[in-house]
Structure 1
């Protein structure tokens, strides 16, 4: 009944996917882990969620996982945390929608004796562990790649910055890293914080930038991820800007890789999600068994509320048309067949993928 109650509650808040294992909560001897992800986008549903669930299954036969999406809504995620507390899970793995707004929920969970692993985004509050990628390095890779793509225009050219959501602390890290490469090299004509990381908002922002700066006065676009890049590129196409200026990205989404092959997007940052999911799962299982994460964490980080959080910070990889096969294809993130659909057949041939 307890397991059914949590599944029902979480399903009411988002998409629930329960992973049944021997020794579940119904027998009273299981270890329940709540996996609370920010959205049901391609990245979270195709990679992070199934990878984390699979690794937990491998590590802990007695563990069950209740996974949900908050659909980018803070109130929904707060209710999901409350449901997990009521259920009495051992550990919550959370990719926060809003790191600051979720602080009180994290505090309630810890007061209830529940360990919290902050996944991908460093949530405020007394978290037990954190796993992500080096955000400043991500931004620096993007900024350096954009300068390379700009060529001679890197000397005083004008760009638009399409940053991520201000509620996501990773956005600040990406921006800081990008500026470390871009400042003093290019003029930043317009800069936006894109609410909820939504491509539609990026599209609107880019349309506004084109209207304000002029279609002929945008030499490149720093886009914080592939989703925003899709909105940016749609706006550039709608304005009939040809050739398209170089646009950056992140997450190595299938659509982003296809746009790179087609010459519409210059690069993306590949973050091997298998490594991130592996570390997050190992931290969750260790904490569920009352063990330290010190053998897993290789560094510590500080949040605005908590110092010395055990952390794993992984290394991102820059991907352009020249190294798609050696990165995302080699690692099995995308196959050549997935990338090279009929629409992109000629582009893939030119890129040497087929």
Structure 2
């Protein structure tokens, strides 16, 4: 089992100062756990946790923060969840490996008075205390519609082929929402879906293996691929390159990882979704501190019978990668314009 990593934010204890007869007012305090699902996507270590930690430092300097990543192992996440409760966590921010299995974790926590904030991925069968995420269904619809518009702009005929759909993990409820959005985005486009696949654990090698089989099966009939994130997109592109397909059909993505953005720069990937995870992480921190303060934060909407706050992300292509990603500082030119991507950066006006 992966060793626990505990982060103590600020002072270990709150010191009350008495000035005359007036006591200083104590701010919120307590232990909060931030439990992420996997390491296949780099976002959790590079963006989500740092964003959550930074927000907690500002909102609750006397809080203790526990952080762990389950590495796509639902049993390991359950152990981490149990450990968080045994260490006194009063709020657990949970991005579940298995959205169905997470229902029992929510029940257990709530029975002990521990609040659970579903993060990024919902827990459909059992209401958590709050749910904060990007609009996953909207993400799926946006990447699919963007791909459809691109293919039509390029004059790709609707009657001579179709698209592949590379979805996310079958145990991830957020992946199910993305898949639903993809279906909506493709509906009525005229492009048929040749085949679709739910990628276990979002693992790029598994996506690559499946796409390789579909290339053998369908060949030049494949005119585009809707991949649900940058990892599965990278696996998809690797499959086409290994098969000697040139040019690679347009492929979608999601998460705006450095690798995904570089593939857009090189022209191998068509789009991705810019999801500054720090925004959602900061929102989760605000909700967590609210619970520690005895408040029940109200959601902007309700999903799965859970108060919910959703954020709307942005589609990124070559046309806006400089303005929206680099110029606004989400990712630097130095990170993107390395090695073989330097020439593509020059063409797009990205300087480092």
How far apart are 1:348 and its partner, in Å?
0.5
Provide the TM-score with structure 1 as the length reference: 0.90
Which of residues 201, 207, 215 in structure 1 aligns to 2:206?
Answer: 201
Distance in 2, Cα, partners of 1:293 & 1:331: 31
* 2:82 aligned partner: 82
Q: Give the Å deviation of 1:328.
A: 2.0
Superposed displacement of residue 30, structure 1: 4.4
**2:111 maps to 1:127:** no
Larger Rg: 2
Distance in structure 1 (CA, Å) of the matches to 2:300 and 2:73 = 32
How do residues 154-193 of structure 1 correspond to structure 2 at under 5 angstroms? 155-156=158-159, 157-184=161-188, 185-193=190-198
Alignment partner, residue 49 of structure 1? 49
Shift of the 147–106 alpha-carbon distance from structure 1 to 2, 3 Å rule, reads: same
3-state secondary structure, aligned to 1:125: coil
Q: Which of 323, 328, 345 is the matching residue for 1:326? A: 323
Larger helix fraction of residues: 1
* Partner Cα distance (1:125, 1:176) in 2: 20
Corresponding residue for residue 31 of structure 2: 32
Contact 2:164–2:226 (8 Å) recurs in 1: yes
* Partners of 1:129 and 1:329 in 2: CA distance: 33
Note the alpha carbon deviations across 1:289-326, whole angstroms, 9 max, x for none.
Answer: 211212xx322211xxxx2x111100010000111122
Q: Could you list the per-position Cα deviations for residues 22-66 of structure 1 after superposition, in whole angstroms to 9, with x for gaps in the alignment?
A: 1359xxx94000111001331100000111011011100110100
> Which residue of structure 1 aligns with residue 10 of structure 2?
21
CA shift, 1:17, in A, is: 4.1
Cα-to-partner distance string for 1:148-173 (whole Å, 9 max, x where unaligned) = 22122252331110011111111121
Q: Structure 2: how far apart are the matches of 1:140 and 1:65?
A: 35
Q: What corresponds to 2:112 in structure 1?
A: 112
- Per-residue displacement from partner, 1:163-184 (whole Å, max 9, x unpaired)? 1111111112111111112123
Distance 1:97 1:14, change over 3 A: farther
Cα separation, 1, equivalents of 2:249 and 2:136: 24
**Does the C-alpha gap of structure 1 residues 259 and 17 become closer, same or farther in structure 2, counting only changes over 3 Å?**
farther
Q: Aligned equivalents of 2:3 and 2:224: distance in 1?
A: 37
Offset of 1:342 from its aligned partner? 3.0
Aligned residues: 333
Counterpart-to-counterpart distance in 1, 2:119 and 2:77: 14
Q: Structure 1 stretch 331-340 or stretch 242-251: which is displaced more?
A: 331-340
Paired residue for 1:342, among 328, 339, 343?
339
Q: In structure 2, list runs of 5 or more residues that go unmatched.
A: 15-27
CA distance in structure 1 between the aligned counterparts of 2:283 and 2:167, rounded to whole angstroms:
27
Task: Give unpaired runs (5+ residues) of structure 1.
Answer: 1-11
Relative to 1, partners in 2 of residues 1:15 and 1:320: Cα closer, same or farther, differing over 3 Å? farther
**Per-residue Cα deviation, 1:69-122 (whole angstroms, up to 9, x for no partner):** 000100000111111122221100000001101111111111111000010000
Which SS does the other structure have where 1:178 is aligned? Answer: helix
Matching residue of 1:69:
69
Q: CA RMSD in A?
A: 1.7
Conserved 8 A contact 1:13-1:79: no
8 Å contact kept, 1:51–1:278: yes
Aligned partners of 1:293, 1:23: CA distance in 2, in Å? 26
Q: Secondary structure at the match of 2:156?
A: helix
Residues 19 and 53, structure 1, Cα contact 8 Å, conserved in 2? no
The CA distance in 2 between the partners of 1:35 and 1:181, in whole Å, is 33
> Offset at 1:261?
0.3
1:213 alignment counterpart: 218
